[in-house]
Structure 1
Amino acid sequence: MFDPRSLGVITTAMVTAHRINKNIEKWLGEKNVADTLSQSVPNNVTSEMGLALLDVSDVARQYPEVIAYFEKAEDGDIFKELPKLEGGTAVLNAMQNYLDKYGMRCSGEIDITKTRWWEKPSLLVPIILSNIKNFEPNARITKFEEGRLEAEAKEHDLLRRLEKLPNGKKKVKKTKKMISVLRNHIGYREYPKYDWICRMFIYKKALMNEAAKLVEKGIIKSKEDVYYLSFEEFREVVRTQQLDYEIITERKKAYDYYETLAPPRLMTSEGEVIFGEYNTENVPEGALAGIPVSSGTIEGRARVLLKMEDADIEEGDILVTTFTDPSWTPLFVSLKGLVTEVGGLMTHGAVIAREYGLPAVVGVENATQEINDGQRIRINGTEGYVEILD
């Protein structure tokens, strides 16, 4: 399990990234170099999750019957049918090994009611098919090495240029030490949440076992009904074996209503809604402004997605969505860029975009409405804007 004392290491790494950017911009006039230096770092459990699914895809790509089944598979128990197919057992074992480490994850995973990958493995099928379509075998090694070599080349280039400056040897020594701290520790940022989500899944399985008993006794209609009870209410129902089911009915109606509301872009932990405008000094006329979180400029097809399970990604696509969390990471290996409506410098999408070397702009208001699926767009992750090209 994750050692809370390591939070100091993570904080140090993030502060170091900021200092590298500040120093290099001051000394060499180059912005956001820590983005490149953060590519393919070791010990990032979330980026490793995306690369590991490439290995599962490599197993599946060997068996045409499995691929054909996946292309028509629905939301049922895919594991039940796989052993009946040629190569199905091998694919089943690969998926189960993957789920042993990452199966507790899902979209919106901090909500304990959300369906985990272990509960519905079919959620991974669209990404496996996209990986087979977009990559050659052994892409995991290739993708990681590409990022590592790019980061290494950037480090060598920076140190070479710094050495030529006044007091260059001192600048080189200081920068080299900071890069070492960044690359050896920034990956650990993902472990606290990974550990938390692992424990949440254990709790959920225990709670759903109790919910199943309530269904058997006719107290609730389905296990998911308990999602509309507080923990204390749930415990009381288990203790008394009684429930006014009208509570569930009314809360389901309220939930459906809340789902229609659009949350504000920025809200503090005290519930205060903050409004403001971006500095558009460097933003071209007609472009959508946002927060630059991973440097670089890229053009490509916009793939507007609201749910990960709807993914049909082609290599070179730019993902446009409301927000991402770790469950979206397996998609990132096929992407060339990221645009989200919600996010900041240290939210999931920003961190993984830097890890994979993808230009990214977040906090783009109404991006999923302003950009149509299939449109060609250009994103500038250095200045923070999105241009719609057609």
Structure 2
Amino acid sequence: MAVIPLSEAHADLVPLVGGKAAGLGELIRAGERVPEGFCVTTEAHRAGVIPEAAVRAAYARLGGGPVAVRSSATVEDLPDASFAGQHHTVLNVVGEADLLAAIGQCWESLWSSRAVAYREARDTDAADVLMAVVVQRMIHPARAGVLFTANPLTGNRTEMLVDVASGLGTEVVDGHANVTHLVLADPTDDAQPGQPLPATTGAPVSPTASAPQPCGPGWRAELRAAGRRVQTHFGTPQDVEWAIDHDGTLWLLQSRPITTLFPLPPQTDDLRVYVEFGNVQGMLRPVTPMGMSTLRKVVAAMVASLGMRMEIVDIGGRLYGDLTDLVRRPATRRRLVRLMSVDFGPRAQAVMEHVLRDPRFAPSGARSRRPTDAALGTALRAVRGILRALARPDAARRRLVAAVDRLRAESTASPQLRTAHDRLRFVRDHGDGDGGGGGGGGGADDITWPIVAGMLASALPAHLLKGVATEDDIHAVLRGVPHNVTIEMDLALWALASAARPHRDLLLDTPPAELAARYLGGALPEIGLSGFLSRYGHRAAAEADVGVPRWAEDPTPVFAAIANYLRLTDPAQAPDRRFARATEDAETALGELAVRARRHRPVRGRIAIFLLRRGRRLAGLRESGKFAGLYRLHAVREQLLLIGSEVFPAADDIMFLTLDEVEAALDGADLGGLVARRRATHRRELRRRVVPVALLSDGTDVESTLPATDDGEGLLRGVGAATGRVTGPARVITDPSTAYLEPGEILVTATTDPGWTPLFLTAAALVTETGAIMAHGPTVAREYGIPAVISVPGATSRIATGQVITVDGAAGTVTTER
């Protein structure tokens, strides 16, 4: 079948007809008005010869005349890849010779530089790509454009967005025409959740000054109705090219999924608001289904410890909390802005302030419940534990270390686990651990309250010394604090790298993945890595997800970090020396602040200095809770992989199932297809670089509706999280496992967690797109003494690797140079 009628194409024939032809065939099958045409299939492309006779015959059946010749590759117009504008289209083709030449041009466009670059950016295997070609009768429109059946700018599924211009729609797509932008909201849907006010219905959005103004509402209603039908047919929001000819007839020229939309929250009857929780753990990547089942319980417990309850939901593989009831409850809505500021960061704070002003989230008048006896008991235990830690910080630290050691011992699986069902029972018993707290009873108290005491001792002095000391002064005092297990880990890795210098050439010249394979195969010289992994091998980037391999399984990131350390040749910049200097500078800053504070605030100053001294002895413990919980998570992962190796083709297939599904698989259920679909979804979400801070249940990305800020040319604004000012070349990194970071480069990334922190030892500064001042990354940056600016929107796309930038941690700005 080298040539088939367009009406015979459909979704199951994508390998034969390509994405565009399949979409057009589906429109025809759904009864939509599509210009008649035919498809030169991938069989012809695979053979490498244009089937001239078949093309001429099909062209004759169209009646000859002008046609549009359009590429239809097997990888375009799909749910996760649009390939928009990457391949060739030739319009107004007349005659057999020109038609055959245009088909050849479409084939050749598969190997254009832009198409190749696009495929490489998406890790698309060129061997999997074939080109079909669509030939359709040419429509000469009076007006044409693109209809998005959901608003691609905000994500709102109750709005449609239209770009319209006079003449050919390709000029809209190519950006060459004067375009009018319209938001279409159906007036009959005013009662739907999230529906915009009636005044916006059909209103222009930022029209170009000289853009043509379409006349009459009829075409809008017809287009809106067509959009609804098309979306219903395909089952997902669509990007539809359309044209209205001079007789007023509406034609649909293409339909493909809108690939940029973030997945919808769970559907509800009322409008709800969800806030993303992953950035608290330094995670923006999607969580595996198995990891999600564990983390939902962890986050719910964390929120409950703050005196609030909410449902934790999975949206696009990310953890979101349903804050609707808290927003509408008078007693809790007042606390939300501060909660967002401290624990989620300034972007979440701005979003929450916007939500609280939205009349759709007005307080409901419901009163808060009186505290229960259990809550009062927890509060009394907290006060006692915090005061005890502040009174005797060294004793509190010893109790914490002992509790962590006990948790590690308790997490070890018994050698008596013989069968997959035995292992699954172990996982069920241990898989709901809090991943960051450790057990119950006194053990939990021994871990929790010293950490809370350290955080309070670090935070309260800024309020006590308002007008006397700035936040930068406080941060300067809290540099180089001891007893932080993450920093101890990073410095241990630096010591390992220093001892491995006799093997410098091997470790620098061999790719980290190859070094990891050789190490696991026992074919690498001993450099001390075994000892490091025995202590820290249960860690990894995105380590809160049980589905993520640990360093002990795949030490590639460790070898990448070692290589970065070995490139450091200036002894003064050695991480251990930098940390020691940070400690000395902090003690000096504390002494100077003590004099100033006691002079200007005799009583409050003494309390503040007492707390800061306690903070320096306790604040470093904040990483210990998560470190402790990871022992249990690691043990659970080991047992899951053992089950997976018995039941599934690949051991880690199990990470794409829930525990109940695993039990069903043990009982004989075939879940291979489900695993494959979830793997594909997970791979697709791994490529997503932007995760909304907050979503409404209609799909609206709340941050996208906030007023735009004008930062000025070359100036990016964020929040200063660690003081200092550094100028240097940027290094944009999305994956720490193979990250290359030269000493003195500025690390620019979306977010960080403890698995990223080995990079901090050689980084000159840190810039992130998300985060809160008290999150892992900024805290470690402060303790290392490197400047950090967080919550810089779009930093990884607005800054390029090699670009010279200036990071000012005091001002909270990043300045880019041309």
TM-score of the aligned structures, taking structure 1 as reference length? 0.86
1:242 counterpart residue number: 669
2:686 counterpart residue number: 259
Between structures 1 and 2, the one with greater helix share: 1
Q: Report the secondary structure of 1:338's partner residue.
A: strand
Mapped pair 1:47 → 2:487:
yes
Contact conserved, 2:748 with 2:796, CA < 8 A, in 1? yes
267-276 vs 19-28, which moves further: 267-276
Mapping for residues 60-99 of structure 1, pairs under 5 Å: 60-64=500-504, 66-67=506-507, 70=510, 74=514, 76-80=516-520, 88-89=525-526, 91=527, 94-99=528-533
Q: 1:72 to 1:335 in 2, by over 3 A?
A: closer
Match of 2:629 among 182, 191, 196: 196
Q: Could you list the runs of 5+ residues in structure 1 that have no partner in the other structure?
A: 215-219
Q: 1:73 to 1:325 in 2, by over 3 A?
A: closer
Q: In structure 1, what is the Cα distance between the partners aligned to 2:582 and 2:696? A: 36
Contact conserved, 1:36 with 1:154, CA < 8 A, in 2? yes
2:559 counterpart residue number: 125
| Structure possessing the higher relative contact order (Cα contacts under 8 Å, 6 or more residues apart) | 1
1:341 deviates by 1.2
Q: In structure 2, what is the Cα distance between the partners aligned to 1:196 and 1:143? A: 29
Contact conserved, 1:55 with 1:140, CA < 8 A, in 2? no
Q: In structure 2, what is the Cα distance between the partners aligned to 1:33 and 1:366? A: 29
Q: 1:205 to 1:260 in 2, by over 3 A?
A: same
1:339 counterpart residue number: 767
Q: Report the secondary structure of 2:556's partner residue.
A: helix
Contact conserved, 2:696 with 2:702, CA < 8 A, in 1? no
1:278 deviates by 9.1
1:295 deviates by 2.1
1:322 counterpart residue number: 750
1:21 deviates by 2.5
Q: In structure 2, what is the Cα distance between the partners aligned to 1:278 and 1:131? A: 43
1:284 deviates by 5.8
Mapping for residues 1-390 of structure 1, pairs under 5 Å: 1=404, 3-5=443-445, 6-28=447-469, 30-64=470-504, 66-67=506-507, 70=510, 74=514, 76-80=516-520, 88-89=525-526, 91=527, 94-135=528-569, 139=574, 141-165=576-600, 168=602, 170-214=603-647, 220-238=648-666, 240-267=667-694, 274-275=702-703, 286-390=714-818
Q: 1:375 to 1:307 in 2, by over 3 A?
A: same
1:289 deviates by 1.6
Q: Deviations over 1:195-250 (max 9, x none)?
A: 11121111100111111112xxxxx3211222221111012212x13314222222
Contact conserved, 1:289 with 1:384, CA < 8 A, in 2? yes
Select the structure of larger CA radius of gyration.
2
Contact conserved, 2:451 with 2:618, CA < 8 A, in 1? yes
Q: Kindly report the root-mean-square deviation, in angstroms, between the aligned alpha carbons of the 2 structures.
A: 2.8
Q: 1:72 to 1:158 in 2, by over 3 A?
A: closer
Q: Report the secondary structure of 1:74's partner residue.
A: helix
Q: Report the secondary structure of 1:335's partner residue.
A: coil
Q: 1:82 to 1:73 in 2, by over 3 A?
A: farther
Contact conserved, 1:75 with 1:120, CA < 8 A, in 2? no
Matched-pair identity in %: 26
Contact conserved, 1:265 with 1:365, CA < 8 A, in 2? no
Q: 1:269 to 1:61 in 2, by over 3 A?
A: farther
1:176 deviates by 2.3
1:161 deviates by 2.7
Count of matched residue positions in the alignment of Structure 1 and Structure 2:
374
Q: Could you list the runs of 5+ residues in structure 2 that have no partner in the other structure?
A: 1-403, 405-437
Query: What amino acid is the match of 1:118?
Result: A
Q: 1:25 to 1:295 in 2, by over 3 A?
A: farther
Between structures 1 and 2, the one with greater strand share: 2
